[in-house]
Structures are given as C-alpha cells and as structure tokens.
Structure 1
Amino acid sequence: MPTYLFSCTVCGAFDLIRPMSESGAPAECPSCARPARRVLAAPALRSLPTGLRSALDAQHRSADLPDVVTSPPPRTGRVQRRVTDPRQLRLPRP
C-alpha cells in the first residue's frame, strides 16, 4: 500500500499508509484528531532493489554526458573457444 503525506495545521506533517482507493479521503491528525490536508510529494523510490536503483542512476547520468570510448578494451589473455558438441573436448590438441 502506498504512503501518503498529510499536514496538520497544529501538529505538522505525518504519514499515513492507506489503499489507493482511499487516497482522496480526508484524514485526521493522529495527535490532535483535527482534519488534515494531503500534501503532494515525490514518490519514495528508496524501496527499489539496489541493482535497479544503480542502473537507473547510471542511465540518468549518461543522458547528458555519455562515456566516450577511444579504444577497444584490453584482451584478457585467454581466448574463449565455442564448443558446439561436448565430444569435441576429448579430441587431441595440437
């Protein structure tokens, strides 16, 4: 369920967790029971998984200043061979 931010004129801001179907319903302050108005705020994206959050941050950073590659990456030293049939691994090597 989403968390909504409300503001009481006496006590200040507080959060309420309620279903989306009740997002427009009036709320009472939990401290003084006076009516409170809903405050529009940015969504809470902190609950995203770490990998997704870092990917979104990298995408945002590279939108204006993408990394420019000037040369190919260095070779790792070992060449990967593709084997389509596992029996080929048992063949003698030169």
Structure 2
Amino acid sequence: MATYVYRCDTDGPVDVPLPMGTAPSSLPCPRCAREAVRLFCPPRVSTGSRRIVEAIDRAERSRDAPEVVTRVPGAGARRPPVATATNPLTRRLPRP
C-alpha cells in the first residue's frame, strides 16, 4: 500500500492509502465528499528497520542542532587495538 496525498478545497491535504499505481488524478474527499485533486510529493515508503529510521532522524536533527559533548568519554570508549599480522611476510608492510 502506498499513501497518496490529495488536496480538498475545504479540508486541505488528505492522505489516502491505495494500492501502488492505482491512484486516480482526483477522487471524492473522504471527509466532505467534494472533489480532491492529487498532489505529487516525495513517496512515503518504509526505509527499513527501526534502528535505520532512528539513525536517519538523528542525522536530520544534527543538521540544525548538533549534539554537544559535555565531557570526555570514559576509559571504556577507547578504540580496540589494531590486530598485528601473524604472517611473517606481511610484518614489514606499513601500518595504518
């Protein structure tokens, strides 16, 4: 199901869920039964799991109001050590 947006002169924008590709150019408004014209806007599709949606929302919020760090991260927040090469042929290669 896709959500299409129609504009009614009386009620304003109205969201109507319809099967994808079946939306007519106009239909009766579900609230007042007057003719509502379809608006073309970005699709409203599911973006994935809840974690992905939260990450996208956090990135959007940080555009205008970035999160501010108020303290130095604790000792547990250190990066894990870089793995050392066990193959003797790769020991002389430069390290990252």
TM-score, normalising length: structure 2: 0.49
Which sections of structure 1, spanning at least 5 residues, go unmatched? 59-73, 83-94
Q: Deviations over 1:22-72 (max 9, x none)?
A: 212531111110110001111225x313338858xx9xxxxxxxxxxxxxx
Distance in 1 of aligned mates of 2:44 and 2:21 = 19
Q: Which residue of 2 aligns with 1:51?
A: 52
Q: How many residues get paired?
A: 64
1:27 paired residue number: 27
Q: Structure 1 pair 19/78, CA: closer, same or farther in 2 (3 Å)?
A: closer
Give the alignment's Cα RMSD to 1 decimal. 3.3
**For the pair shown, which has the larger CA radius of gyration, 1 or 2?**
1
Gaps of 5+ in 2: 60-78, 88-96
- Note the 1:1-94 alignment, pairs <5 A: 1-24=1-24, 26-44=26-44, 47-48=46-47, 49=49, 50-51=51-52, 54=55, 76=81, 79=84, 81=86
Q: Which runs of 4+ in 1 moved over 4 A?
A: 52-55
SS at 1:51 equivalent: helix
Please give the TM-score of this superposition, normalised by the length of structure 1.
0.50
CA contact (8 A) 2:25 2:37 kept: no
Contact 2:2 2:44 in 1 (8 A): no
Quote how far apart the aligned CAs of 1:81 are: 4.9
Match of 2:28, as an amino acid?
E
Q: Give the fraction of aligned pairs with identical amino acids, expressed as a percent.
A: 28
